[in-house]
Amino acid sequence: MVASNLSVQNEAKRLERRVRSEALARDVLLARQPIVGMLQDDAERLLSEMLPVRSSANVLAESSWSASSVRHCLHVAEGEGYWDFYRPSMGLILSVTDATYRDDTWVNVEGSGYFKLRILVSGTLRARSWEVIARAPEALLYVSPGASREGYYIASGERTRMIVLHCRPQLLTHVLGLDPQDIPVPLSSLLSPDRGSTRRRMTPSPELLQVTRRIMESRHSLSTALRDRYLQNLSMQLLLQVLGILERGTLVRSAPSVSSRDAHRIQEARDYLAKHYVNPPSIVELARWIGLNCTKLKESFRQIVGFTIYEYILRLRMERATEMLVTGDYDIAQVAYAVGYEYPANFTAAFKRHFGLLPRDWRRRQLSTEEPIQ
């Protein structure tokens, strides 16, 4: 048993050295102190000290950027992986997380006058009550007009991959140049510091997830000189897409209301499907399980999640399929069976309708742009 424990510790140390050596070999600065869980003001101050800022005569001074990142490596006792932090623009910090924690870990989120958009590619986030607040693939918007103290648990043993846009209100007014009346709810509450904080779960569109993956893969596909502008552009794409989603939501006033009790049931249904999308229940079975009739289930699910039940299951299957395809370790048939298709031909047809490419062509394109990690 002692030998086994030593072997695990040695392997963990080896992985940590690899993460650190990769950081040193590239344009990554290792954080002098833990950044995850810092006050928003303190994190911004530390990053401004560590990251060189470059400006250009062709862009506004407020939009200066830095492609270098500050890396927060997990300690061996915590798990393995890292958080990378960038500063694509004034009022904006971008973080990229790829980490597996050994224990359920609480992450503090404290500060005032900011909003955060988390896009979770894999993993689960929970509240203090242990309620699921985000389960991949899902986005979580948190808006804090005044001072607030919140946070979330990262589930242990799950690979957590996500990107987070840490935004100040001036990103909307100064960088994007929006008039206050054009800022959609709930972001408009940032202009009223006495308002309470809000949290909103969203199902990201395929376009949103595609941009997220591009951000996560940019370190291995682009040089530093290109990546600074690339990350700035992609961050703004994400923000603008979310603004569009929020704007469309505020304009749909004729949609039927859903009671808080039924909304909770729909969230339970969504979480259940997220776990059982390979062999999902029928609508009749799902309706019976959560205590709603089939019509109410279908209508409320589409209203709250933004997709039909079939569309949501398809998105989950396609997301898992892309994760398997990009490794290069599975053939098309294996991927098809793993995500719930009885016949590979049906999977191939569904994949092409969803992404516009056959699975083999999609994988070839992805692998041809990735740079192997030495």
The answer to whether 141 touches 120, Cβ cutoff 8 Å, is: no
Q: What is the pLDDT of residue 338?
A: 95
CATH number of 260-369: 1.10.10.60
The two tokens of residue 340 are 């719930």
Cβ atoms within 10 Å of 28's Cβ, excluding its own: 19
Domain segments of the chain as ranges: 2-251, 260-369
Fold match between domain 2-251 and domain 260-369: no
State the helix-helix crossing angle for 359-369 and 309-327, rounded to 10 degrees.
50
- Token look-up 């699910």 returns 301
The two tokens of residue 112 are 């005032």
d(CA 118, CA 208): 11
The answer to whether 330 touches 338, Cβ cutoff 8 Å, is: yes
pTM of the model: 0.60
Tell me the helix, strand and coil percentages in the chain, rounded to 5: 50, 25, 30
Coil, strand or helix at 30: strand
Nearest partner of 101 among 33, 154, 180, judged by Cα: 154
Cβ atoms within 10 Å of 145's Cβ, excluding its own: 23
The answer to whether 277 touches 263, Cβ cutoff 8 Å, is: no
The two tokens of residue 114 are 């900011």
Per-residue pLDDT of the chain (374 residues; tens, 9 = 90+): 444 454 545 555 555 455 444 444 456 677 666 777 777 777 777 777 777 554 443 333 344 444 467 888 888 889 999 988 888 877 888 999 999 999 989 988 887 888 899 999 888 888 877 777 888 888 889 888 888 778 889 988 888 999 999 898 888 888 888 888 888 888 888 888 777 788 888 877 778 888 888 888 877 666 666 777 788 888 898 888 888 888 776 433 334 467 777 877 887 888 889 889 999 999 999 999 999 999 999 988 887 776 789 988 998 898 889 888 888 889 999 999 999 999 999 999 999 888 888 999 888 877 764 443 33
CB under 8 Å to 291, separation ≥6 — which residues? 265
> Which CATH number among 2.30.30.40, 2.60.120.10, 3.40.30.10, 3.30.365.10 corresponds to the domain 2-251?
2.60.120.10
Nearest partner of 160 among 95, 208, 220, judged by Cα: 95
State the helix-helix crossing angle for 294-305 and 283-290, rounded to 10 degrees.
90
What type of residue sits at position 214?
Answer: R
What type of residue sits at position 246?
Answer: L
10 Å CB burial of residue 2 (0-12, 13-18, 19+) is: exposed
Half-sphere exposure (CA, 13 Å, Cβ side) for 124? Answer: 14
